[in-house]
Structures are given as structure tokens and as C-alpha cells.
Amino acid sequence: MSNLTFGIIKPDAVRAGKQGAIIQKILDAGFNIRGMKLIHQTVKQAEGFYAVHKERPFFGELTEFMSSGPCVVLALEKEGAVKAWRDLMGATNPAEAAEGTLRKEFATSIGENAVHGSDSEENAAIEIAYFFSKLELV
Ligand code: ADP
Ligand code: MG
């Protein structure tokens, strides 16, 4: 799993019709898309996914947002995928995101920030398994 990471094109970006532009940038950056599908999470699924954040003050807002509409879940492959994908995403807060990053271009706030990415190889494996069966990974 070391060359794999997990990503989400969040509901704000899908609502804005930016999923195609984001996928193009992912391909242009040299990622191989091993899994991809459109899902609409329930609040319970979003709470399970973000369980590590359950004590944070924004947990309710975050899980409500993540279940507010369809999103695209992605299994992405590249050498050093976890870091490469976080570099392409940019900082959590779009006000702090570098030029050329997805969050700089597509995020509107620290909460509605267009994309998710795993923060470690271990979490990438857990997060891919949360949304994809083995048969869905090519
Ligand atoms: P990242 O997505 O960059 O890994 P975190 O893991 O810290 O960031 O937070 C998870 C998600 O929770 C963020 O992407 C964002 O959607 C939301 N979030 C983080 N901090 C805040 C905040 N201060 N207020 C509202 N939402 C937040
Ligand atoms: Mg995180």
C-alpha cells in the first residue's frame, strides 16, 4: 500500500462542478487512479470516517458538510503518494494554501476545502478499505 493514498473530492467541489477539473489536475500530476466512484455519505458514515476528530469543536459541522451531497472517493497511486497528494491539495485553510494547489484554487473556507487526503500510509490503507472493496481497485 506504500504507493497508495486516499482522496475525496468533497461535496462543495462537486456542487460547484469542479470534479472534472480536479481529476484532470490529479492526472497531470502523475497519479494513477486505481479506484474512483461517486458516493453520497450518510451522517453516520461521515462520523465513522472522521472518528479521529470527534472531540474537535467542528466535528458536527464537518460531518454534516461531508454528508450534504455527493463526493468522489479516490484511490491514488504514485511514488510517495501520501505526501505528493497532500502537496497537490495544499494547506487545510485555503487562506494559507500555496499558489497552484487545489485548495488555493477550489476551496472556499477552512471547512469547505474541496479535497481530503490521508495523512499517513497507515491511514491511507484504512481509508481506502473504508470506501473500496478489493474488486473496486484496478
Ligand atoms: P486536513 O483535511 O488538511 O487533513 P484536518 O485533518 O485537520 O485537515 O481536518 C479535517 C477536516 O476538518 C478539514 O479538511 C476541514 O474540512 C475540517 N476542519 C479542520 N479545521 C477546521 C476548522 N477550524 N473549522 C471548520 N472545519 C475544520
Ligand atoms: Mg486530516
- Regarding the beta carbon of 119 and ligand 1, being less than 6 Å apart is answered yes
Residue 23 lies in a domain: yes
pLDDT at position 23 over 60: yes
Stretch 25-54: mean pLDDT: 98
Stretch 54-70: mean pLDDT: 98
Q: What pLDDT was estimated at residue 34?
A: 98
Stretch 19-41: mean pLDDT: 98
Give per-residue pLDDT as tens, 125-134.
999 999 999 9
Residue 64 lies in a domain: no
Whole-Å CA distances, 21 to 27, 54, 122, 136: 10, 31, 28, 23
Residue 52 lies in a domain: no
H helical segments located in the chain:
11-15, 19-28, 43-49, 59-66, 81-89, 102-106, 121-131
Going 96 to 110 to 121 to 38, the CA torsion angle's sign is negative
Using pLDDT thresholds of 50, 70 and 90, give the confidence band for residue 2: confident
In this prediction, what percent of the chain has a pLDDT beyond 90? 99
Report residue 110 as a C-alpha cell.
477552512
- Regarding the beta carbon of 10 and ligand 1, being less than 6 Å apart is answered no
Ligand 2: centre distance to CA 117 (Å)? 7
- Regarding the beta carbon of 45 and ligand 1, being less than 6 Å apart is answered no
Using pLDDT thresholds of 50, 70 and 90, give the confidence band for residue 88: very high
Task: Give the global pTM.
Answer: 0.98
Calpha distance 41→45 (Å, rounded): 6
Residue 49 lies in a domain: no
We report the CATH number of the domain holding residue 24 as 3.30.70.141
DSSP 8-state class, residue 101:
S
How many domains, in total, are found in the chain? 1
Residue 109 lies in a domain: yes
Domain that holds residue 76: 4-40+71-136
Catalytic residues: 116
